A and B are shown apart, each in its own frame.
Chain A
Amino acid sequence: MNFLCAFLFAGILCFFAQLILDNSKLTPGHVTSLFTVLGALFGFLNLYDKFIDFAGGGATVIISNFGYMLYKGAFLGFQENGILGLFSGLLSYSSCAIAGAVIIAFVFTLLFKPKD
């Protein structure tokens, strides 16, 4: 059941993303940015945590989760530390994805040759 929800949630989002890509002049950069902002919006509407309860890994693997994590970090940061917390908490949850991508990509860049 969990797996079916994960499949449907991730699949349907990718389906809509592909429809946008095919039927407009937007590039993949536009679409991923759009879905990140939508993730923050759904976090704001208190819906994205319900998506994660529903779809588990299907919801956390989509780039929208990044927007949700940023929102959650800033929101919870404010609860702890006020205005300063908005800034200091913003990246706390999504640090894993950013630091992970940076460090892994940098190490692989040193190890591998670009293809011609």
Chain B
Amino acid sequence: MNKDEYKKLVSRLTPKEMKSKNAIVAFLVGGLIGVLTELVIIILMECFGLSRVDACSWACLIVIFIASLFTALGFFDNWVTKAKAGLILPTTGFAHSVMSSALDYKRDGFITGIGANFFKLAGSVILYGIVSAFFFAILGVVLYG
């Protein structure tokens, strides 16, 4: 069997992921997370008389708390595998990545385990977020004053 035949065989036998189905699931789950967050914000504003900005911050903390708790309890990994981008792109994905890397390395100890790996997955979001925001802010200051 030459290389081309082998490649064809591999591409034929590789299970085709249902791309359109994945995208629709991500759309529905992501949308649902958005609606739930909006619901939490409105409940906080109505029941506790918070301003919209404070309610958004509380909603963000609540989302992080729930995602971390579900990850620690062990069933959030399966949800992320199923819903993919629908749970990765919202703040749930950020909390999930911090929580799961911290928990996975717990047995390596506090410093070399938890400490060294805490931001293993979420670190790139923080790094590139800070770097890009810094330079965009300089650009913004130059352009808008």
CB within 8 Å of B: which residues of A? 2-3, 6-15, 17-19, 21-23, 28-29, 31-33, 35-37, 39-41, 43-44, 55-63, 65-67, 70-71, 73-75, 77-78, 86, 90-91, 94, 96-98, 100-102, 104-106, 108-109, 111-115
Number of interface residues of B (CB under 8 A): 73
What are 29 A-B pairs with beta-carbon distances under 8 A?
A: A2-B42, A3-B38, A10-B90, A15-B85, A19-B19, A23-B19, A31-B88, A32-B88, A32-B93, A36-B132, A56-B38, A60-B41, A60-B60, A61-B37, A63-B93, A66-B94, A66-B129, A73-B133, A86-B137, A86-B138, A97-B64, A101-B98, A104-B61, A104-B65, A104-B95, A106-B102, A108-B99, A109-B72, A109-B114
C-alpha spacing A11/B35, complex, angstroms? 10
Q: Which 5 pairs across A and B sit closest by C-beta, in order of nearness? A: A14-B30, A10-B34, A11-B31, A58-B34, A57-B38
> Is the Cβ of A109 less than 8 Å from the Cβ of B86?
no
- CA distance in complex: A86, B133 (Å): 10
Given contacts A11-B30, A21-B84, A37-B128, contact A63 B136 (CB under 8 A): no
Q: Give B contacts to A, CB under 8 Å.
A: 17, 19, 22-42, 56-57, 59-61, 63-65, 68-69, 71-74, 84-86, 88-91, 93-95, 98-99, 102-104, 106-107, 114, 118, 121-122, 124-126, 128-130, 132-134, 136-141
